[in-house]
Chains A and B, each alone.
Chain A
């Protein structure tokens, strides 16, 4: 924790605003990351770019994934946990690849356990981020009501500027 606080303060000391990019394992997230790198971390500004990039992914807790408590649940938990952990690390690996493909090296990666909505908003608060970037699944109203929308929650509740990057729909 102390290390993290130090990081945030050194970033602030250098005068760089923090930009948090929230990703999950969907295509939309990676598109959002690429779009952000393209437009905010392009070669023109890179040497003294205005933002410090922090990539955050939320790892759901196993108990939130298994909704029914049953005798077998306890046995399944470890497998679910390792599965989730594997997915998160794959997400981070892919993010690292994307960043190095765009030659952006000064990046922090963080995996936080919990619900994506809270994780992202807390990350913003903790690091005093100037901007939060999220992708969007582009759910319609019904799906959003049923599945919930992280980007929607963040747009309402984050304490900083929020950028919602959408993957353009292919034109028919």
Chain B
């Protein structure tokens, strides 16, 4: 009988368990908790190996950056007339991605949406973008800290665009064996038992999805 202490060196038995795990990281607390839960529970086979990932496959952290800029702000410049009818961007919280989707289609029907336009110089756009990148980098730093403290090496990916779709697409591209998401989004609505990104991923991802709920202490 093999001891479970020895690291598995990609033999017949170990092969089965190698998983490519994709963990979606965003700024909510639930997300970092999901990461540490995944690390605790999916990478438990090797005990004192300096790098547990050897035995378990790859861990990839993905962070999707939203692009509020193109819908918020328009660069001030020669082409002020926007032929795509996007000159009535709507101001709303960037976090509510499902609302985001709706409002996009509503820009055609200007009567019913809030009308506000922010025209920004390119330098403002740049600084907003840089702040956003800084945020993402900090977040991923924290995530790597968590991984390192559990002796797991993780790869990091940042994608731009709508988080739900990007995460599912990426999972498909990298042929992930498992997608891990937290359960609550940033909306912090007490009655939101499942965030919009997690919900979307649960329905649309092609690979198995693991939804990590916050520990019972946090239930309102």
Contacts and interface: CB of A to CB of B under 8 A. Distances in A.
Nearest to A128: B216
Nearest to A43: B13
Interface of B: 1-4, 8, 13-14, 16-17, 19, 37, 41, 44-45, 55, 177-178, 193-194, 198-199, 202-203, 205-213, 216, 219
Interface of A is mostly: mixed
Contact of B17 (A42, A48, A157): A42
Contacts, number: 83
A163 B41 contact: no
B194 A156 contact: yes
A47 B1 CA distance: 8
Contact of B206 (A39, A47, A156, A169): A169
A168 B176 CA distance: 12
5 contacts: A39-B178, A155-B202, A158-B213, A164-B208, A166-B209
A149 to B, nearest CB: 9
Given A156-B193, A161-B213, A162-B213, A50 B177 contact: no
Contacts of A85: none
Contact of A163 (B14, B17, B206, B208): B208
Bin the interface of chain A by size. Answer: 20 to 34
A44 B37 contact: no
A165 B208 contact: yes
Contact of B207 (A17, A160, A166): A166
Contacts of B216: 159
A35 interface: yes
B211 A48 contact: no
Nearest to B201: A164
B17 A39 contact: yes
